[in-house]
A and B are shown apart, each in its own frame.
Chain A
Amino acid sequence: MALTSLVKLNATSSQFIAQNPFNQRRRSPSLLATRRFSLPIRASSSSYADELVKTAKSIASPGRGILAIDESNATCGKRLASIGLDNTEAHRQAYRQLLLTTPGLGEYISGAILFEETLYQSTTDGKKFVDCLRDENIVPGIKVDKGLSPLPGSNNESWCQGLDGLASRSAEYYKQGARFAKWRTVVSVPCGPSALAVKEAAWGLARYAAISQDNGLVPIVEPEILLDGDHSIDRTLEVAERVWAEVFYYLAQSNVLFEGILLKPSMVTPGAEHKEKASPETIAEYTLTMLRRRVPPAVPGIMFLSGGQSEVEATLNLNAMNQSPNPWHVSFSYARALQNSVLKTWQGRPENIEAAQKALLIRAKANSLAQLGRYSAKGESEEAKKGMFVKGYTY
């Protein structure tokens, strides 16, 4: 397994070990010989177990979902460029401030995923962003992966990096106020996917999840099955079932506490270039079938990514999935599908901030209603219905 090289202790982690005793699961070397056959009870002895379960439950609360604003600086730059703004820290700070100080956001949003820069930023008045979120009962989260790279030996596929030093980084993020983490890996249907790519995606997620929990962060598990391709919805279902079977198996082997994780799957839809579009009801049926076949009820919440769907599409599909009770909270973790209208309204101008925040609330409320199965598309703007699929989209 290629990952073994990533687990070597580096200077930062040895420093961390010296400063902080490892959690109670570690045993002294003299017991290792017998310990080899006595596997740890699944995370129930982790000092963070109770907090992880509580945090996951809070994020998976009825009528609420996640606002994903963890775009890397480069990606955020694309967003700013689309409204004619330069990619400066000041602009990024201004944009995130607009979003995170929206009054009443906590009624519809239970968690916000931040990029590292944002986690340490404050409002222009000097109030920490994490405190703004806390005051609205929104849990701060942090993107911890270090992006995708080409996967050697695969069929032009990618793998996600970020395990090096992840433990100490996670501990630092926890200190700063983050309580959940996110790691996004991808799987490509047109490229196979190869067994290698699926195994790597699942294994990386499992390792990340175990490390996150060890350091007090609820891991959001995100294997995105990319929309790119002309495949049918049946093919997507096959691939999704394969990927999630592998993910859960490795999560179990890594002794991850399922009551303390959240999932961020893609919905089961046809590929973007497939000749037939699927209705929200069909997407809901296929997606729920997949979830029922793969997700143990111990998992408290499933927060869908929007992956290029239009704002309205993403909301309609979520609504269709919530027409009857599910054994897990079925909700949203949207970035583009929550922010598109906001950006267009703001245009970078301070006089538009209030209107832009209102636009965010409109979208957040729509998705809140969808989570409760009570959304109707009447009165939605044309802008909100515009698809956002970009072929070959790189994060």
Chain B
Amino acid sequence: MTAYRGKYADELIANAAYIATPGKGILAADESTGTIGKRFAGINVENVEENRRALRELLFTTPGALQYLSGVILFEETLYQKTADGKPFVDVLKEGGVLPGIKVDKGVVELAGTNGETTTQGLDNLGQRCAQYYAAGARFAKWRAVLKIGPTEPSPLSILENANGLARYAIICQENGLVPIVEPEILVDGPHDIDKCAEVSERVLAAVYKSLNDHHVLLEGTLLKPNMVTPGSESKKVANEVIAEYTVRTLQRTVPPAVPGIMFLSGGQSEEEATLNLNAMNKLQTKKPWTLSFSYGRALQQSTLKAWGGKPENVQKAQAVFLARAKANSEATLGKYTGGAGGADASESLHVKDYKHKVMAADAPIEGPVVRKAMVA
């Protein structure tokens, strides 16, 4: 069997290509309830639904920001939320030319017999959930697999298992009209050097694409969300140009040109670092048949959160900060960023050692509503 050619094929190809439009990128605003709680704790804001809604409204209604975005990844709760005026967020985004996306994985659990390696959950009923999300307006999805570098990691089991999970998720999404963002994040934690990161990234990406191909995923209707190739968090830093060269070389060796866009995760880099690295990649004179862009969470929101502090009177100020970061990253996708947007705050490292979105015990109940009826306006 060749790749998926079902009823959504043309739409998937068009949407993936649109998300990969040069000059645009993705805002990852899909923090789970638990994770956003950590963000709020850092700015002394109570983790209640109204505050979560208010933050996302701040971001999505920033004047002039949506032109720099092609997609926003949402958490399930947010997909059904509205502005204070009662306008559904998905409509705000769509009118701004931004495709709504949805996080569909259900977090990681440990793989028995490994040294703390994980697999990602969420395949049960995924088709049904995707269909519902599509009906609610989502047009792309995201699933985060996590691997780590260590003396015996990533193990062949972890690579096989995570690659398979990503491929199953991807084809199920496509069958239900959602462009799957394929995210095999190799954590930056560790004392390893950039060569080690490159070697592991190549190995993981080769396995991921083998799996996608075996599962008949339509590559033209997917996007990749990889880590950049960098030294480990406990290793000496290197210049943006070095990161750019290593990263693009790794991608040249592993990502077929059929994939329209590569939207990097920021993984703990400061806002400015994440932008500078992306910019350096887009300035490289070398073969790059895919768009190189961003899918940033912390690296787009950190300063904005600080400026907001949960207070309505700070909304305009916070929106200005967000606009500056969105614009900076847009320029970086074109290799035109000249640096300095956002000042000192933007250079604050966002790395948290051993960062976990959520690691669940294998028998913990899956949180949150599995299927939620679409809200009627």
Contacts and interface: CB of A to CB of B under 8 A. Distances in A.
Contact of B254 (A291, A292, A296): A296
B46 interface: no
A381 B361 CA distance: 74
Interface stretch (A171-179, A248-256, A274-282, A347-355): A248-256
B362 to A, nearest CB: 26
B373 interface: no
B255 A241 contact: no
A147 B213 CA distance: 30
Interface string A285-301: 00001011111111000
B206 A248 contact: yes
Given A42-B202, A245-B214, A238 B256 contact: no
Contact of B210 (A39, A249, A289): A249
A192 interface: no
A295 B203 contact: no
B256 A41 contact: no
B253 A292 contact: no
A108 interface: no
Contacts of A237: 2
Interface string A227-258: 00000001001100100010011001100001
A162 interface: no
Contacts of A289: 258
A393 interface: no
A192 to B, nearest CB: 14
Interface string B172-209: 00000000000000000000000100110011001101
Contact of A37 (B151, B195, B209): B151
B252 A293 contact: no
A150 interface: no
Nearest to B200: A39
B252 A42 contact: no
A258 B213 contact: no
Interface centre among B1, B207, B219, B252 (most CB of A within 10 A): B252
Contacts of B252: 258, 296-298
Interface in B145-163: 151-152
A237 B216 CA distance: 13
B150 to A, nearest CB: 9
**Chain A, interface SS category:** helix
A152 interface: no
Given A41-B195, A42-B202, A237-B2, A258 B253 contact: yes
A238 B2 contact: yes
A387 interface: no
B256 A296 contact: yes
Contacts of A41: 195, 198-199
Nearest to A252: B206
Given A39-B199, A39-B203, A298-B252, A292 B2 contact: no
A103 interface: no
B111 interface: no
Contacts of B198: 41
Q: Which bracket fits the contact residues of B?
A: 20 to 34
A238 B206 contact: no
B340 interface: no
B249 interface: yes
A219 B84 CA distance: 63
Given A41-B195, A241-B213, A297 B202 contact: no
Contact of B289 (A234, A249, A258, A327): A327
Given A41-B198, A245-B210, A297 B257 contact: yes
A249 B257 CA distance: 16
A89 to B, nearest CB: 43
A42 B214 contact: no
Contacts of B206: 248-249, 252-253
Contacts of A296: 252-256
A293 B195 contact: no
Interface string A34-55: 0001110110100000000000
A300 to B, nearest CB: 9
A295 B213 CA distance: 12
A251 to B, nearest CB: 9
Interface centre among B210, B214, B249 (most CB of A within 10 A): B210
Contacts of B214: 245
Contacts of A42: 199, 202, 253
A238 B213 CA distance: 11
B257 A292 contact: yes
A166 to B, nearest CB: 24
A297 B289 contact: yes
B256 A294 contact: yes
Contacts of B256: 292-296
A293 B289 contact: no
B249 A241 contact: no
Contacts of A294: 213, 256
B22 to A, nearest CB: 16
Contacts of B151: 37-38
B287 to A, nearest CB: 4
B3 A241 contact: yes
B253 A234 contact: no
Interface string A248-270: 11001100001100000000000
Contacts of A291: 257
A42 B202 CA distance: 9
Contact of A252 (B195, B203, B257, B288): B203
25 contacts: A37-B152, A42-B253, A238-B1, A241-B2, A241-B3, A245-B214, A248-B206, A248-B210, A249-B206, A249-B207, A249-B210, A252-B203, A252-B253, A252-B254, A253-B206, A259-B253, A293-B220, A293-B256, A296-B253, A297-B257, A297-B287, A297-B289, A298-B249, A327-B257, A327-B287
Given A297-B289, A298-B253, A327-B257, 14 more contacts: A39-B203, A42-B202, A237-B2, A238-B1, A241-B2, A249-B206, A252-B206, A253-B206, A258-B253, A293-B258, A294-B213, A295-B256, A296-B252, A298-B249
The 4 closest A-B pairs by CB, nearest first: A252-B206, A245-B213, A298-B252, A327-B289
